[in-house]
Amino acid sequence: MALAEDATAESLTLALAQVPPVEIGDDAVERALSRTDRLAAEAATSGADLLVLPEMHLSGYAIGRGAVEAFAQEPGGPALTRMAEIARTYGVAICHGFPERDGHRVYNSAAFIDEHGTELLRWRKLHLFGDVDARQFDRAGFSDEGLTGEGLVADWRGWSVGLAICYDIEFPETARRLALAGADLVVVPTANMVGFEAVSRLLVPARALENQMYVAYANYTGEDPEFQYNGLSLIAGPDGAPVVAAGAGEGLLIGRISAERLVASRRENPYLEDRRGDMLG
């Protein structure tokens, strides 16, 4: 595990933006960036170290393949550069979802940018959800070296941070692989719909407990032409209990995570140490 047994009681404040999807339109990316600027300012005022935005926040989620291709960003693209500038301006790290172009392929991606505007991690959604994802995105590959060649987790302020996107966290293998890579915190931009409330209430807490990590799950509220989103963003602690949890409405959810609590929980619940790797991998 990344945090040492003698780790101090260092803590981080996270701000999860539970907002409606940006409305479809040619200026969707610009409107999403303007909203990010406002949210980052609010997060900084609240003392947050990290702002987490939902899945495909830069363009909206259920927008169709044509719009995904039109809005897709290459590394160093103008919208990603602007996102880095926002992080630097407010001194707040940002995790956000966006459509990523790689040659002729387009992925559902998320990036973790530190407070200096440096991208530390990028993740491409591994588990495509139903027809909506299959129509819009290409399926990402995976390797133990990570999705961008930089590893599965990154060190940020003494914490080992990993990413997943929405449906990914519903598969125990995703969180377990990140845990085995040393993750203390897994950040999950999501677009979860009405009817799937069990993800927030059961699966996300279970992923945190069984892997002895924090999981920050930032969802949409409101609707787009295809879906109604259920909100219920939360930060789940290593004991499976919510550090903080939202209802269905719009807002910025603020929660604090503690290294001391994480170390103590790992002593009490040594699941990763006790697992039968010879049987289950």
Q: Please give the full DSSP string across 91-133, using - where no structure is assigned.
A: T-EEEEEEEEEETTEEEEEEEEE-TTS-EEEEEE--S--HHHH
Among 55, 119, 170, 210, which one carries the catalytic annotation? 55
Q: What angle do CA 93, 140, 148 make, to 5 degrees?
A: 45
Among 100, 166, 170, 210, which one carries the catalytic annotation? 166
Respond yes or no: is residue 166 known to be catalytic.
Answer: yes
Residue 103, class by beta-carbon neighbours within 10 Å (0-12 exposed, 13-18 middle, 19+ buried)?
exposed
Among 100, 125, 170, 210, which one carries the catalytic annotation? 125
Respond yes or no: is residue 197 known to be catalytic.
Answer: no
Q: Are 181 and 162 in contact (CB under 8 A)?
A: yes
Respond yes or no: is residue 125 known to be catalytic.
Answer: yes
The four Cα atoms 14, 19, 21, 22 give a dihedral, to 10 degrees, of: -100
Residue with token string 């701000």 = 15
> Helix 204-211 vs helix 172-180: angle between axes, to the nearest 10 degrees?
30
Residue 202: other Cβ atoms inside 10 A: 11
Residue numbers annotated as active site: 55, 125, 166
